[in-house]
Every structure is written in structure tokens, then in C-alpha cells.
Amino acid sequence: MPNAPDATALERTDRAPVTAKDHATALGLAALLGTAGTMHFVNPAFFDAIVPSWMPGKARTTTYVSGVVELAAAALVAVPRTRRIGGWFAAATFVGVFPANVWAALDGGMQDLDPPFDSPLVAWLRLPLQFPLIAWAVRVARRAPG
């Protein structure tokens, strides 16, 4: 009779085994998301500045909701059992905030912030940074156990 699978093992049977590097990569993403999510509550004015004026409701509400979303993504990615859904959720989150980054760039920067964050150049430089974040989240989802 074959041995029952060990629930604590990080090895998958349908793909290559999960490596320590995969685990570290996921925890790094969880740390980034957790830090970003926390900062939405510690320094909400920074994030209020990127909320497009066409969004319904108050910018602060959007800031807090997006902070909760990032904290939820961090928690899901941190736990191996929920890592796959967390990785896809994180990727969707990064895709979801991309329009706000585009809006900020087209609007000439985030005017309510201190230099250099208020500059159009910084707003435009933020745009290509989203793509490696999306790729990172997709990699974590694809390499997740289970």
C-alpha cells in the first residue's frame, strides 16, 4: 500500500517539486504586498494622490480598500496552501491598479505628493514597474504547491 502524502511537504506530484527558492520568492512577494498594504493605513495621503478623480467615492476610501486587498493578497501568498490563489489574486491586484498609474502619468504626476513623487517623470517610471510585479505574482501562482 503506498504511503499517504505528507500534508506538510512542499512537493507537488503533477509538476516539478517546489523548491526553497520558490518558497522564498513567494514570501518575498507576501512581504512586499504586506508592506504596501500596511502603508495604505500608515501614510494614506501618499496613496490618495494616485486615486483618479473619476473614481466614485472618496479617495481615502479607495486607499483603505486597496490596502485591505493588498493585505489579503499577502496573507494568501504567505500560506503554501492558499499560495496559488494568492498569486493569481496578487497578479489581478497589480493589473487592477495599473489604470490608476496610467491616469497619474497622463495627469502629469501625483500633485499632492512631495518631490520627487509629484513629478510626471516618476509617474511615467512607475508604469513599467508593474510588469515585473505581475510576472512575479504569476510565477508564484504557477510554482505554488498543490
At 30-84, the pLDDT tens digits run: 999 999 999 999 999 999 988 888 889 999 999 999 999 999 999 999 999 999 9
Domain of 114, in residue numbers: 20-142
Cβ-proximal residues to 78 (8 Å cutoff; 6+ apart), any chain: 26, 27, 30, 34, 86
At 83-100, the pLDDT tens digits run: 999 999 999 999 999 988
Closest CA to 110 of 99, 98, 122: 122
> Into how many domains does the chain fold?
1
User: Is residue 5 included in any domain, yes or no?
Assistant: no
User: Is residue 124 included in any domain, yes or no?
Assistant: yes
DSSP code at position 22? H
Kindly write down the DSSP assignment for every residue of 27-82, as one continuous string: HHHHHHHHHHHHHHHHSHHHHHTTS-TTSSS-HHHHHHHHHHHHHHHHHHHHSGGG
User: Is residue 119 included in any domain, yes or no?
Assistant: yes
